[in-house]
Amino acid sequence: MSADYTSATQQQRHDWTRTEIRALFELPFMDLMFQAQSVHRQHFDPNLVQMSTLLSIKTGACPEDCKYCPQSGHYNTGLEKEKLLALEKVLEQAQLAKTNGASRFCMGAAWKNPSARDFPHVLEIVRQVRALGMETCMTLGALDQEQSDALAEAGLDYYNHNLDTSPEFYSSIITTRSFQDRLDTLERVRQAGMKVCAGGIVGMGESAEDRVGLLQELANMPEHPDSVPINMLVKVKGTPLQDVENLDPFEFIRTIAVTRIVMPRSYVRLSAGRQSMNEQMQALCFLAGANSIFYGEKLLTTPLPEESADLALFAKLGLNPEQLHTREPAALKPHLQKTPREQSPLFYPVQQKLLTETLN
């Protein structure tokens, strides 16, 4: 089979078969990268990357048993636990993230689900972060419909709830909830009108077929998630996955590329595990269609590359951070526009420089 999905008629499908997705994974690497980049350019400016900052608003002692997670109360990882952060502390961090160029502020709490006691506080956090002029995203565990509606009403833009892995491999990674539980919460989030952020983790010892299965589940949802974080497992000492075998980096890049092709309009986020990727690998991930990163000190509890390293890489690649509400169609070249992103402290005017040099 040819496995060419670059034409406009192939976009936004929700009926992907595993055979089709497997065929994409098995393409020659160069062909896969070309297809992914071709699809990417139909929907996004290839030189813009959406930047999110993530803050853990409640850390550790989670009753769930996700085998990859240092925050699970089931494992002893030496993680310092923290209660739900005070509103002022969250706002301080959100303002800092905004100043540093993030357009979205993501907040995570290590809960099975939000309690009735904490929920009003969470809603107030959403209202006030939103008032700073940032997009808001939260990950709080499972939600019922009432909670989903209340978060939407408070102004929450995105809800993150990852599928983690394929339905078949799910119970090897988590036993305290089911794959269906995850789908149910995502459906409630959609019903409430919030945008969905849902992805998974690779490198957990899953098979190639499990990666196919994960992407099939995500792509065949009633609507593609607006954001799809693809995480590379960060092996944390004390978790059951601490010694799992490394995933071949090319397999990770292929996963990004196939994600881009099967969910062409979604933001594909290069997420956890970026710390261990060298610049060249990150560049290949961007070429494969990743167009969103977490930017900041920590990704919940695992470190991210230094901000300055991110900026240096952006400068080398001529990438710029996408600012809120400035998403432009790929046809409009960034160097021909004057947009608010130029006011960002992260803005790197490489396109203008190159254009000027070329024209002169």
Q: Which residues bind ligand SF4 (CB under 6 A)?
A: 62, 64, 66, 69, 71-72, 110, 141
Nearer to ligand SF4, 110 or 247 (CB): 110
- Cβ distance 218 to 265 under 8 Å? no
Say which DSSP state 86 is in. Answer: P
Question: Shortest approach of ligand SF4 to residue 166 CB, angstroms?
Answer: 17
- Cβ distance 85 to 118 under 8 Å? no
Pick the catalytic residue: 104, 106, 188, 254? 106
Pick the catalytic residue: 197, 274, 285, 341? 197
Nearer to ligand SF4, 238 or 340 (CB): 238
Instruction: Kindly give the interhelix angle for 279-287 and 249-262, rounded to the nearest 10 degrees.
Output: 20
Beta-strand pair 298-299/302-303 = antiparallel
Determine the longest span between alpha carbons in the chain, in angstroms.
64
Question: Shortest approach of ligand SF4 to residue 110 CB, angstroms?
Answer: 4
Question: Shortest approach of ligand SF4 to residue 274 CB, angstroms?
Answer: 18
Nearer to ligand SF4, 173 or 268 (CB): 173
Which of 178, 146, 142 lies closest to 159, judged by CA? 142
Nearer to ligand SF4, 202 or 313 (CB): 202
Nearer to ligand SF4, 66 or 192 (CB): 66
Q: CA 202, 185, 125, 49 torsion: positive or negative?
A: positive
Pick the catalytic residue: 22, 69, 177, 182? 69
Q: How many CB atoms are located within 10 Å of the residue 306 CB?
A: 11
Rounded CA separation 233/235 (Å): 6
Residue 135 Ramachandran class (φ > 0 left, ψ -120 to 50 alpha, else beta): beta
Pick the catalytic residue: 22, 62, 260, 341? 62
285 is annotated as an active-site residue: no
Question: Shortest approach of ligand SF4 to residue 234 CB, angstroms?
Answer: 12
Pick the catalytic residue: 104, 188, 260, 269? 269
Rounded CA separation 64/111 (Å): 8
Question: Shortest approach of ligand SF4 to residue 305 CB, angstroms?
Answer: 21
13 is annotated as an active-site residue: no
Active site residues: 62, 66, 69, 106, 137, 197, 269
